[in-house]
Each structure stands twice: as C-alpha cells, then as structure tokens.
Amino acid sequence: MAESTDHVQVATFAGGCFWCMVKPFEEQPGILKVVSGYTGGHKENPTYEEVCSGTTGHVEAVQITFDASVFPYERLLELYWQQIDPTDDGGQFVDRGPSYRTAIFYHNEEQREKAEASKQALAKSGRFDKPIVVPILPAGPFYEAEDYHQGFYRKNPEHYHRYRSASGRDEFLAKHWS
C-alpha cells in the first residue's frame, strides 16, 4: 500500500548557521528531509561565499519536508524557537551579520497564522526579557547550499561539536530552555 502524501508539507526556518539547525529537526519522527540553503534575498543561485558577503539579501536557512500527521507544524515552531535567540536581530551567537539573521518563512496562510500565534505566545511567556524580533515572511525561492554543507553534523562530527560548543548556542539554549 502506497504511503499517503496528503500530510506532506514544507517549512522554512532561518536560525543563524544552518549547520546547527539540521540535527534537531532531523532527529524528530515524521521529518522526511532537512536541506540547508539560502533564501530571502535577490540573487539567483547564490554561493556560500556570496551569501556570507552580505550582498545577496539571503539568510542561511533550512527547508524541512515533514509529515504533518506525525509531526505537526506547531511542533516544528516549538522546536524552532528552542534553537535560537529570538531577541537578537544581528545574527545568532558568534555568527554576526545579515546572512545569520533569523526568520520564519511561511508557505501558506495557515503557516503564517500559526507562526504569528506561536511568536505572540512566546512573547507573552516571559521567558525572555527582550522583545521577540524574528520576522515572519512569505517563502520565496530556496536555493540548496553546496553539498559539503548538507548534513554537516554527520559528515564532520568533531568540527560540528567544537563549533556548537564554542559558538555560545548550547549554553544559551540550556539557560533558557532547560
């Protein structure tokens, strides 16, 4: 019997360095694929170097294909908030600059409404003492990053763990989400 694809959806999140955004999502049930890439800018088919230069308007992002009947969009949003500093609009942790900004890119009106509600709930929770600054934007073209960026945590586990540890991300997340 063929698997139904009625519940298969796509979500796109920018959370600073895309290396750190893949593993938390890939480990969840119902996640079919997580791709690192670039979105939100004006340059077609940008390279990593171009995006890092800050001239393309793109951010590093992950595009997640998921089965909403197993792992609903609301749970993706909850997990997303737990991976970032939602009060920082200048980048994330040690990664500074326009390509490391955060954003939720919605693919339909239902995603937009759920993202807005999720952002408002986080703001009202009192978990952070500064405003939640993550923009919620319409999804546009998504450009897959170079192969060496895909699944980086699996291909280069030592480098990945050193980077995460030194970036300040893990310390911040433990402080705010444990």
Task: Give the residue numbers annotated as catalytic, written as ranges.
Answer: 17
Q: Is the dihedral of CA 155, 74, 81, 90 positive or negative?
A: positive
- Interatomic CA distance for residues 155 and 73, integer angstroms: 28
Q: Which residues are CB-contacts of 95 (< 8 A; sequence separation ≥ 6)?
A: 16, 17, 167
d(CA 178, CA 165): 17
